[in-house]
Chains A and B, each alone.
Chain A
């Protein structure tokens, strides 16, 4: 399987996508293209195989956001830069059930984090956040995402990853042996 990750296009085949979660299936099938192209509230990237270049195997959606500085509790404001906090929202990430276990989730998160670094380089952003399902927080934690506030009892858990941590990971891109 030779996987490519690219932006969603209008005529990509999304009808057969099934990640086992109806809201995530529904988003891709009914809203992703409209949100990307018409109302511009999220850009969706899809994983496709070379042999079927329009058939979606997995996807993620990104958007930018910011937190106005005056919304932070006063006791924390002193430690923050005197500006609103720009960030990237990893709004959705899903893999078709038929392709689970082939490293697609890893490929998708990898691309999402690389885009995050590029955005940080181009226009500035401080972190990436996501709303993870409770049973997926462990998966995100493997990549260094930290729960924001205490773990949610039910419902999605906001998770945070600092752009500085991602940049540091980039500096480890080649191991000492590989560098020699």
Chain B
């Protein structure tokens, strides 16, 4: 079962040294997560491995890593792990794939003769042709 996360925002007055700073309050959001025993075990194990004591630090680091992964996929970059022997594995994480650009195609120059450009201009400015049967079948596939 996926963990349940509740978020609660509260305003925290900061200790101040300057009188005019008293009106400034920092918004902090409190997360409360209901984890399955296996996930709780995983969090504890990771915290121990990373020598972290607080859940807050754990969440901050996880968030930093996740934000980096999202920004990389948003730019169309793949996230790859490479072993010492050069073997590569690409990370495929469905949620990250949602932010990846659908298609990235490079740009090339095509050589056109004047006659071809005239013909192309006529085709582009005219009415589109009706789709052929094979085209309809291709799009149905």
| Residues of chain B from 93 to 114 with CB closer than 8 A to chain A in the complex | 101-110, 112-114
A79 CB, min distance to chain B CBs, angstroms: 3
Of the listed stretches A17-25, A46-54, A94-102, A105-113, chain B binds A105-113
Do A72 and B139 touch (CB < 8 A)? no
Q: Quick check: is B130 within 8 A (CB to CB) of the other chain?
A: yes
**B129 lies within 8 A of A144 (CB):** yes
Decide yes or no whether A162 CB sits under 8 A from chain B.
yes
Task: Please tell me which stretch of B25-33, B49-57, B117-125 contacts chain A, meaning at least 4 of its Cβ atoms lie within 8 angstroms of it.
Answer: B117-125
Shortest beta-carbon distance, B93 to chain A, in Å? 17
Residues of A near B101 (CB, < 8 A) are 122
The residues of A that contact B114 with a CB separation of less than 8 Å are: 73
Report whether A158 and B116 are in contact in the complex, using a CB–CB cutoff of 8 Å: yes
B107 touches A66 (CB 8 A): yes
Kindly list chain B residues whose C-beta atoms are within 8 Å of the C-beta of A88.
105
Residues B56-105 near A (CB distance < 8 A): 88, 101-105
A47 to B81, CA, bound (A): 25
Question: CA of A85 to CA of B117 in the docked complex: distance in angstroms?
Answer: 11
Asked if B138 CB lies within 8 Å of chain A CBs, one says yes
Chain B residues within an 8 Å CB radius of A65? 107-110
A109-160 CB contacts (< 8 Å) to partner B:
109-110, 113-115, 118-119, 122, 126-127, 129, 142-144, 146, 148-150, 158, 160
Contact A43 B139 (CB under 8 A): no
Residues of chain A whose beta carbon lies under 8 Å from any beta carbon of chain B: 10, 40-43, 62-67, 71-73, 75-77, 79-80, 85, 88-89, 91, 106-107, 109-110, 113-115, 118-119, 122, 126-127, 129, 142-144, 146, 148-150, 158, 160, 162, 164-166, 168-170, 172-174
Contacts from B to A (Cβ < 8 Å): 88, 101-110, 112-125, 128-132, 134-141
